[in-house]
Structure 1
Amino acid sequence: MTVRVLVADDQTVVREGLMLLLGLLPGVEVVGAASDGLEAVEMTARLAPDVVLMDLRMPRLDGVEATRRIRARHPEAEVVVLSTYSDDASVFAALRAGARGYLTKDTDAESLARAISVVAGGEAHFAPHVQRRLAEAVADGGRPAARALPDGLTQREAEVLGLIAAGRSNAEIASELFISEATVKSHINNLFAKAGVRDRAQAVTYAFHHGLAPTRMT
Structure 2
Amino acid sequence: MTKIRLLIADDHKLLAETVSDILKATNKFEIVAICHTSKDTLWSIQLYNPEIILLDLNMPVINNDVPRASGLDVLEELRSKQDTVKAIIISSFNHSTFIKQSLNLGAKGYLLKNTSIEEIETAILTVSKGGIYLQKEVEAILKGKQRDIEVEDSLVNAISLTKREKEVLEYISRGFRTEDIAIALNLKKYTVDEYRDNLIHKMKAKNSAELIRIAFEAGLL
Q: TM-score range by the shorter chain?
A: 0.5 to 0.7
Shift of 1:16: 1.3
Cα deviation, 1:89-135, whole Å, max 9, x if unaligned, reads 21111111110000011111111101001111111000011112323
Runs of 4+ deviating beyond 4 Å? none
Contact 2:8 / 2:35 at 8 angstroms: preserved in 1?
Answer: yes
Q: Which runs of 5+ in 2 are unaligned?
A: 63-69, 146-221
Alignment of 1:19-168 (within 5 A): 19-61=20-62, 62-136=70-144
Aligned partner of 1:17: which letter?
T
More displaced 10-residue stretch of structure 1: 71-80 or 119-128: 71-80
Contact 2:112 / 2:138 at 8 angstroms: preserved in 1?
Answer: no
Residue 54 of structure 2 aligns to a residue in which SS? strand
Residues 109 and 68 of structure 1: is their aligned pair in 2 closer, same or farther, counting only changes over 3 Å?
same
Contact 2:19 / 2:117 at 8 angstroms: preserved in 1?
Answer: no
Aligned partner of 1:128: which letter?
K
Residue 32 of structure 1 aligns to a residue in which SS? strand
Identity of aligned residues (%): 24
Residue 113 of structure 1 aligns to a residue in which SS? helix
Shift of 1:65: 0.9
Q: CA RMSD in A?
A: 1.5
What TM-score results when the alignment is normalised by the length of structure 1? 0.59
Residue 5 of structure 1 aligns to a residue in which SS? strand
Residue 7 of structure 1 aligns to a residue in which SS? strand
Residue 143 of structure 2 aligns to a residue in which SS? helix
CA distance in 1, matches of 2:80, 2:15: 27
Contact 1:45 / 1:74 at 8 angstroms: preserved in 2?
Answer: no
More displaced 10-residue stretch of structure 1: 20-29 or 101-110: 20-29
CA distance in 2, matches of 1:43, 1:73: 15
CA distance in 2, matches of 1:71, 1:109: 27
Shift of 1:2: 1.5
Shift of 1:25: 2.2
What TM-score results when the alignment is normalised by the length of structure 2? 0.59
Residues 74 and 27 of structure 1: is their aligned pair in 2 closer, same or farther, counting only changes over 3 Å?
farther
Contact 1:25 / 1:113 at 8 angstroms: preserved in 2?
Answer: no
